[in-house]
Amino acid sequence: MPELPEVETVVRSVKPLLLGRTLVNIERSPFTLRTPWQPAWNRLIPGCSIIDVTRRGKWILLELSLPQYRLIVHLGMTGRLLVQQKSTARPAHTHVIFGLKENNEELRYLDPRRFGSVTIARETDSARFPEEEQLGPEPFDLTVKGFSESLMKSRRNLKALLLDQSVVAGVGNIYADESLFEARLHPQRLGTSLNAKEATSLRKAIVKVLRRAIESKGSTISDFYFGNDESGSYQDEFRAYGRTDQPCKRCRKPITRIRLAGRSTHFCDHCQR
């Protein structure tokens, strides 16, 4: 599933192509996404302009000129958001299409596995969006005190805590493993076992790893592509995730893989004691 760096990469790729553009119509495939499309939405969009494209956690937010409404997109596991010429054949699994008034183009949402969603929310609903989705702070907004307290009061393991979107929004399996490696913390350690210095170290590691990943335009392992079939390159920098039995880049001991918090978890049992 795309995590924060991949979603941020998509936002940065489509934002210059969408700002100020006018939506003229909506088409949909007969297949239902994670959240069913509401027929009433068809009447809201035509004539609206896109005034901003932002990200919150793993969600893409398209702010509209229509007062009190916004488009909210979640890429699920295999979703893509593309701006393409109408004359370009629509790729397979294109499920939502917004016609754009200018340049004979369309905004297309593709999703082979259909675990993602495209919805329209009122401002009053979308204002509650972070709370309803139980989204915690953005990684770049974490305070030392708040993050440390979230960790140190919990008896869950660190991997589970980092996957909990109410603790920190946008971090998933890949960047949890990479951040714990960066901080030299074992994923099975309980939050209550940390001291303030270790919690601060983990906070810094999360920010450092995510910034590096954004600079590399995310990680393309199997399904993540953006723009004109462009791919990220951060997978070439992995130091823990997906490197089972390969030598640790610090100590040369083999990377260990276990199942933790329902997910494959990779770490160095020597460096992350």
Strand, coil or helix: 187:
coil
**What whole-number distance in Å separates Cα of residue 93 and Cα of residue 109?**
9
Q: Domain limits of the chain?
A: 4-132, 139-267
pLDDT of residue 67: 81
Residues in the chain: 273
171, 158 contact by CB (below 8 A): no
In the predicted model, is pLDDT for residue 155 greater than 90? Answer: yes
Helix, strand, coil distribution of the chain in percent, nearest 5: 30, 25, 45
Please pick, among 3, 6, 178, 198, the residue that the annotation labels catalytic. 3
In the predicted model, is pLDDT for residue 124 greater than 70? Answer: no
For residue 3, indicate whether it is catalytic: yes
Q: What angle do CA 208, 75, 24 make, to 5 degrees?
A: 125
pLDDT of residue 152: 95
Strand partners, 23: 100
pLDDT of residue 198: 97
Average pLDDT (121-133) is 70
For residue 102, indicate whether it is catalytic: no
pLDDT interval class at 1 (50, 70, 90): confident
Please pick, among 28, 90, 212, 263, the residue that the annotation labels catalytic. 263
Neighbours of 46 (CB within 10 A): 15
CATH of domain 4-132: 3.20.190.10
Please pick, among 21, 55, 56, 58, the residue that the annotation labels catalytic. 58
Token code pair at residue 16:
């210059």
For residue 2, indicate whether it is catalytic: yes
In the predicted model, is pLDDT for residue 29 greater than 70? Answer: yes
Would the CATH topology of 4-132 be identical to that of 139-267?
A: no
pLDDT interval class at 127 (50, 70, 90): low
Structure confidence by residue, pLDDT tens digits, 39-89: 889 988 899 999 999 999 999 999 999 888 899 999 999 999 999 999 999
For residue 254, indicate whether it is catalytic: no
In the predicted model, is pLDDT for residue 236 greater than 90? Answer: yes
pLDDT of residue 51: 95
pLDDT of residue 204: 98
pLDDT of residue 126: 63
Strand bridging mode 105-110 / 117-122: unpaired
Structure confidence by residue, pLDDT tens digits, 164-221: 999 999 999 999 999 999 999 999 999 999 999 999 999 999 999 999 999 999 999 8
Strand segments (E) across 101-209: 105-110, 117-122
Measured between alpha carbons, how far is residue 252 from residues 188, 200, 246 in Å? 21, 26, 8
**What whole-number distance in Å separates Cα of residue 235 and Cα of residue 41?**
39
46 Cβ contact partners less than 8 Å away, ≥ 6 residues apart: 23, 24, 25, 26
- Average pLDDT, whole number, for the chain? 94
Please pick, among 2, 130, 139, 187, the residue that the annotation labels catalytic. 2
Fold annotation for 139-267: Helicase, Ruva Protein; domain 3 (1.10.8)
